């Protein structure tokens, strides 16, 4: 092969997994090239809360969080079952604490406990406070010129809200890695550089073809290539081929999460799994046609085309998304459905955490996504549902509120449901006119099917044999959590863990 360039480790993508892999490989003394296909570093991880579900870690222990690894293991195994290999699950569970110890040895990293209840609060050993940590905030000024290369958050990128002077959450996570990487001369990070093809020689991937500002380059990776290129949620053809519910308009990631790197893996013989899966959420429909990840419903009810309530509105978002999908598959729910609420907040919907600012509510009305009525009957006409049914649904809901318990859908039973209401039942009577309804669809936080790996993130072929020199993590990897979303911080936490394991493995690899 006629190579243009050589490194030890080629990392593809700069989300949580990519920057972790690049950092760990560089710290192990390997020469690293990271290529990012878009014009900013960070991927959807830069939009994210930056939360990490890493049980038993030192930050939880010091901060009084739930640091019991044995109970976390039991909870995780119960939920994920045998949908993914037990050894893969244990690699995730057993490496999180080690990864945090490793990062905390470097002054660029600092973490805080951020209590966030596990997502299946009724399953044995679920934690009411979670096993969840976040990066400590980072003054944006510390990034210097790197700030312009960091993907902004959703508020700035999609709504034009200026970035704060202090970076939080996913911004702080990626920012801290970019700073740490900038001190490692053996790591080179490139924007607008896209992996289009992997090169396999015999049983080994030896490099990749990267298309960038300087044209097409063949990069030789002596130890390996780590695919950390996110999911394929922006690829309509792949979504249709693999049967991923929802649409591109509901994808929260930047458009560059297009599945090219996963396809490149498949083209050289890699096996894939969980290809119809994503991390889902009910999605607030925006005037620009997008459905966006929304959580923290502290009032209102979802109603279907028959004017009936159909789920616990405060349930963890992925469970909510999966209920919506199941109902749609049975023909019991059509999109859009509506969040019905009253005027106690002057027409603003009872949403504590829209993830990107709701913005000017009048735009939703103009787009037909927000409708109102002086009476419930008028609202029913406005959204095209039977008036008697809507009146009966609201009357029933108001009775449940007065009873202090949701006997129909169990809203408020689990700790997560109450986390946005300071432990209060997240339900208020719908009684103060005028009445409003805002439209909802299905959103996703990324697909989670991808290249099948072993516990060191080495990609496997269809016979289960390792393809040497090829690694995958994050949403490019068939998720360790299978079809479950056990708790906030699973996507980012597991992406970082398998990237770290891949880098350490490449550090030990014989070439």
Residue 281 vs 393, nearer CB to ligand FAD: 281
Q: Residues 351-365, buried b or exposed e (16+ Cβ, 10 A)?
A: beebbbebbeeeebb
CB of 219 to ligand FAD, least distance (A): 12
User: How far apart (Å, rounded) are the C-alpha atoms in residues 468 and 430?
Assistant: 60
User: How far apart (Å, rounded) are the C-alpha atoms in residues 505 and 24?
Assistant: 10
Angle at 247 between CA 211 and CA 36, to 5 degrees: 20
- What's the token pair of residue 52? 């990490």
Residue 13 vs 307, nearer CB to ligand FAD: 13
Residue 277 vs 458, nearer CB to ligand FAD: 277
Q: HEC states along 129-182?
A: CCCEEEECCEEHHHHHHHHHHECCCHHHHHHCCCCCCEECHHHHHHHHHHHHHH
CB of 485 to ligand FAD, least distance (A): 9
Residue 121 vs 491, nearer CB to ligand FAD: 491
- What's the token pair of residue 381? 């006409």
Residue 49 vs 350, nearer CB to ligand FAD: 49
- H-helix or E-strand spanning residue 20: helix 16-27
Residue 257 vs 308, nearer CB to ligand FAD: 257
Residue 195 vs 333, nearer CB to ligand FAD: 195
Residue 133 vs 376, nearer CB to ligand FAD: 133
CB of 295 to ligand FAD, least distance (A): 9
CB of 340 to ligand FAD, least distance (A): 25
Beta strands in 202-285 (DSSP E): 204-212, 215-227, 272-273, 278-285
Read off the DSSP letter of residue 480: T
- What's the token pair of residue 286? 């925006």
User: How far apart (Å, rounded) are the C-alpha atoms in residues 323 and 472?
Assistant: 29
User: How far apart (Å, rounded) are the C-alpha atoms in residues 336 and 349?
Assistant: 16
CB of 6 to ligand FAD, least distance (A): 19
CB of 58 to ligand FAD, least distance (A): 19
CB of 372 to ligand FAD, least distance (A): 28
- Please tell me whether residue 199 adopts helix, strand or coil conformation: strand
Residue 320 vs 373, nearer CB to ligand FAD: 320
CB of 87 to ligand FAD, least distance (A): 21
CB of 179 to ligand FAD, least distance (A): 18
CB of 293 to ligand FAD, least distance (A): 5
Read off the DSSP letter of residue 238: H
CA torsion through residues 315, 303, 243, 290, sign: negative
Residue 48 vs 458, nearer CB to ligand FAD: 48
Read off the DSSP letter of residue 309: B
Q: Residues 25-56, buried b or exposed e (16+ Cβ, 10 A)?
A: bbbbebbbbbbbbbebbbbbbbbbbbbbbbbb
Residue 500 CA, chain-centre distance (Å), reads 19
Annotate 79-137 with DSSP letters as a single string.
Answer: HHTTSS-HHHHHHHHHHHHHHHHHHHTSTT--EEE-----S-TTSTT--SS-SEEEEPP
Residues of this chain that bind ligand FAD (CB under 6 A): 12-18, 35-38, 43-45, 47-51, 154, 194-195, 228-230, 252-254, 256-257, 260-261, 279, 293, 355, 445-446, 474-475, 488-493, 495
CB of 269 to ligand FAD, least distance (A): 18
Residue 76 vs 435, nearer CB to ligand FAD: 76
């Amino acid at each position: 092969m006629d190579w243009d360039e050589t490194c030890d480790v080629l990392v593809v993508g700069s989300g949580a997994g990519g920057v972790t892999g690049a950092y760990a490989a560089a710290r192990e003394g390997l020469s690293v090239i990271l290529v990012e296909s878009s014009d900013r570093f960070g991927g959807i991880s830069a939009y994210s809360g930056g939360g990490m579900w890493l049980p038993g870690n030192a930050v939880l222990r010091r901060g009084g969080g739930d640091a019991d690894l044995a109970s976390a293991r039991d909870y995780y195994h119960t939920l994920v079952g045998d949908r993914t290999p037990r050894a893969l699950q244990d690699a995730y569970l057993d490496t999180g604490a080690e990864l945090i110890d490793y990062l905390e040895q470097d002054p660029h990293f600092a973490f805080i406990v951020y209590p966030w209840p596990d997502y299946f609060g009724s399953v044995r050993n679920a934690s009411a406070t979670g096993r969840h940590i976040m990066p400590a905030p980072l003054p944006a000024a510390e990034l210097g010129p790197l700030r312009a290369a960091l993907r902004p958050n959703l508020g700035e990128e999609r709504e034009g809200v200026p970035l704060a002077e202090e970076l939080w959450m996913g911004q702080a996570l990626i920012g801290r890695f970019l700073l740490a990487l900038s001190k490692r001369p053996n790591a080179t990070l490139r924007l607008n550089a896209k992996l289009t093809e992997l090169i396999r020689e015999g049983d080994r991937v030896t490099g990749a073809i990267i298309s960038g500002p300087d044209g097409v380059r063949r990069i030789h990776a002596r130890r390996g290539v780590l695919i950390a290129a996110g999911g394929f949620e922006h690829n309509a053809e792949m979504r249709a081929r693999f049967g991923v519910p929802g649409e591109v308009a509901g994808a929260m990631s930047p458009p560059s999460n297009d599945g090219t790197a996963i396809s490149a893996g498949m083209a050289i013989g890699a096996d894939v799994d969980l290809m119809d899966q994503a991390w889902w959420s009910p999605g607030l429909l925006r005037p620009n046609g997008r459905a966006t990840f929304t959580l923290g419903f502290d009032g209102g009810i979802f109603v279907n085309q028959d004017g009936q309530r159909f789920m616990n509105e405060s349930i963890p978002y992925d469970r909510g998304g999966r209920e919506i999908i199941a109902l749609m598959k049975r023909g019991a729910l059509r999109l859009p459905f509506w969040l019905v609420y009253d005027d106690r907040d002057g027409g603003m919907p009872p949403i504590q955490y829209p993830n990107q600012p709701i913005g000017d509510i009048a735009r939703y009305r103009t787009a037909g996504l927000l409708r109102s009525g002086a009476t419930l009957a008028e609202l029913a006409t406005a959204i095209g549902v039977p008036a008697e049914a809507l009146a009966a649904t609201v009357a029933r809901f108001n009775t449940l509120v007065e009873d202090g318990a949701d006997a129909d859908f169990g809203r408020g039973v689990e700790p997560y449901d109450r986390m946005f209401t300071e432990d209060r039942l997240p339900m208020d009577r719908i009684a103060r006119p005028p009445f409003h309804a805002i439209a909802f669809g299905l959103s996703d936080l990324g697909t989670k099917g991808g290249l099948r790996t072993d516990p060191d993130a080495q990609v496997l072929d269809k016979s289960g044999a390792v393809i040497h020199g090829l690694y995958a993590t994050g949403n490019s990897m068939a998720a360790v959590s299978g079809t479950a979303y056990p708790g906030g911080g699973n996507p980012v936490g597991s992406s970082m863990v398998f990237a770290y394991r891949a880098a350490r493995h490449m550090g030990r690899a014989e070439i």
